[in-house]
Homo-oligomer: A and B are copies of this chain.
Amino acid sequence: MSVVMDADALRRFLAAEFPQSLQLGFEITRVDAQGVGLVLRTGDHHLRPGGTIMGPTLMTLADTATYLVILSRVGPVALAVTSSLEMHFLRKPPPGTLYVDARLLKLGKSLAVAVVDIHAEGAGDNPVAHATVTYAIPSKR
């Protein structure tokens, strides 16, 4: 599972093929043997009642980070699609910076499985959310 697309290549791919995904405003900060890291500085449009970050923002980050960690290993396969996403919301994430780490558990011929931990600035050592995300990979790759 060596890296075949680095952060710059992933960013260019998203800009060309999937520009909507960049509207979320994250940065790709790390692509290495361990996985992929993203950072998001949240704004008011990411909040829900009570002043915490919306669940859909966290789910979108987990989904995107998984997509990127797969692309970083298999190359530009735009049509890889999410097969399942399970997210546990562990703590209310305060507004501020989110740190997203995606790690591949399996990269099979037709299925990839990753775990994603999201930490929040000022929320301690434990993650605010944990996800397991499965992607189906088209067979012609």
Contacts and interface: CB of A to CB of B under 8 A. Distances in A.
Interface stretch (A3-11, A75-83, A94-102): A75-83
B127 A105 contact: yes
B79 A49 contact: yes
Nearest to A88: B84
A85 B87 contact: yes
B49 A78 contact: yes
A83 B89 contact: yes
Contact of A113 (B78, B81, B82, B130): B130
A48 B130 CA distance: 24
A56 interface: yes
A45 interface: yes
A88 B83 contact: yes
B18 A49 contact: yes
Closest A-B pairs by Cβ, 10 of them: A86-B86, A56-B60, A49-B78, A55-B82, A90-B106, A84-B88, A59-B59, A17-B49, A50-B79, A82-B89
